[in-house]
Chain A
């Protein structure tokens, strides 16, 4: 099983700042089969990025994904008020045994 470790656990930032979130895999994720999701309390999680760097439909370009192998990054270039949420990564290289990271909470400083 591929274990995904996200860091930091919590990120405290102000609107307008840049957020950099990390997702590290215990073994290489083939074909960059990694996705990122945003989850706000009481709402359905939302797909942001798939294939490590492809933005999902309707996702603003301030969200970007990068990385390959075992190290992946989600960057939010300038935080908007609606971006404060929990973000989690998911690998689907070994589907149907998908695994998820434990999440990073981006909170208001």
Chain B
């Protein structure tokens, strides 16, 4: 079966750096996405990786290793507004997104 694993919850301090890991087993691979979802709101797109390596986008970076079935989202200079759930999703061989359950990130002052 298809599976996306990420930690359920993480806590970090304002101003610090946090890394949210995602491992996946899917039938085919056509890209990995990270979305942010604030409580009670819709998911919003953060980043996309299709090749191995690091993609940097301001305070957020995402890394992919296809051979290991592994990705991480790195958030730097954490702000209180970064408190949200972070969803990892992989596009399978049918170009459908398979979603992880999300990692709830709690930022403490």
* B is a partner of A: no
Residues of A whose CB lies within 8 Å of any CB of B are: none
